[in-house]
Amino acid sequence: MMPAATDDPSGTLGHPHHDRNTPSHAGESSGDLPNSPGLTLAAIGIVSVALTLTIGGYGFAGLALVGAAVSVLCLGFGITLVVAEHDRDRVRKQHRGRLTGE
């Protein structure tokens, strides 16, 4: 890390979250491998919602019901996996903080 140009001894230049380890930009978490299954399922769920609406619009009620079930399952499991990984990561960071005395 380069020394700060000001008299700020921490080198954060007044930014309280400069040293955080979480993704700070949109789309940065999509490259995170533990979140990949959840994000993939959620994306499949969103696409299947669009397909279900299209199928329903054309009058195929049976296929629309199947599509709705697939949509609900994919979105539900996808969001659950992302939230579970977020909780595991939070607990892991809290545990690491206790071990290092932070």
The residue among 21, 27, 39, 50 whose CA lies nearest residue 79 is 39
Give the integer Cα–Cα distance in Å for 82 and 77: 9
Distances (CA, A) of 4 to 7, 11, 16, 36, 63: 7, 5, 15, 37, 61
pLDDT value, residue 63: 96
Give 94's pLDDT tier (boundaries 50, 70, 90): confident
Cβ atoms of 29 and 83 within 8 Å: the answer is no
What mean pLDDT value characterizes the chain? 79
Phi, psi of 20 (to 5 degrees): -70, 155
Kindly report the pTM of this predicted structure: 0.63
Kindly report which listed range (26-35, 51-60, 70-79) carries the lowest average pLDDT score. 26-35
Averaged pLDDT, 5-24: 54
Report residue 3 as tokens. 């020394």
User: Averaging pLDDT over each range in 7-11, 20-24, 42-46, which range is the top one?
Assistant: 42-46
